[in-house]
Amino acid sequence: MESVLGLAGLFVAAVVAGAINSVAGGGSLISFPSLVAFGQPAILANATNTAALWPGTLSSAVAYRRDTLFHRDLLLTLLVPSMVGGLLGAVVLVITPPELFDHVVPFLVLFATLLFAMRDVIARWTNAAAGGEEHVTPAGRAWGFLFQFLVATYGGYFGAGIGILMLGSLSVMGLRDIHRMNGLKTVLGTLINVIAFVFFALKGLVVWNLALLMAVGAVAGGWIGARTARCIDQRWLRAFIIAVGVVVSVWLFVRR
């Protein structure tokens, strides 16, 4: 009975995470701790979470495909650092001793929570930096290449909060249209997660029955979130995600 209830809890967590990712981002703050609470070691939980959530981001990328094509040349520029960084982050995770990762995880969750809490401030900073018309300079493109590599490395290693980091980076590069930025973000985020997922799978770190169950939930949640986005008060959703992130961070610190 406990196992059935636990699996049901994971499915619900994946639905919620998928919905949150489609509306605001930060879904890993729900799904990853759920896997840890279910009894999975942190590294396996991280790999399984990556495997479970990327189909949802892929569906979002398909939905944004027209906006993405507007900056096709910029997308091509950022593909290489996304793939290399995602793979590097995954490799670093695999060679990280489990005990060390257990110690690092609470700080990663807390960092992702603070990043999410500050996303409006980051947006104001980056929009001010971008200024004026939408235009990507050669210097902005070079900055974006480097920063995308760093974001992708973090994404391959852990992943929570990379969407917010990429939106900030794209703003500084000179992009202004939020839909075009979201289009690039979802494609690049999906690529990072798929690269990491394939590596984790080859290393045998994915708990497949849990990943498949949660993938179904994440896709369903993403569809629900996309259909109801206009009806959701973003302020309450943001407060809920931040509260969950703080509680989970405290729980992980105590658990450690």
pLDDT at 34: 92
pLDDT at 101: 85
Helix (H, G, I), strand (E, B) or coil at 121: helix
Instruction: State which residues form the domain around 130.
Output: 2-255
pLDDT at 182: 75
Widest Cα–Cα separation across the chain: 59
Q: Is the pTM above the cut of 0.85?
A: no
Instruction: Collect the ranges in the chain with pLDDT lower than 70.
Output: 1-2, 23-25, 64, 67-69, 119-120, 122-135, 176, 178, 226-227, 229-230, 232-234, 237, 241, 256
**Torsion region of 25: left, alpha or beta (phi above 0 gives left; psi -120 to 50 gives alpha):** left
DSSP, residue by residue, 178-204: HHHHHHHHHHHHHHHHHHHHHHHHHTT
Number of domains observed in the structure of the chain: 1
Contact (CB, 8 A) for 155 and 93: no
Count of H-run helices and E-run strands, the chain: 12, 0
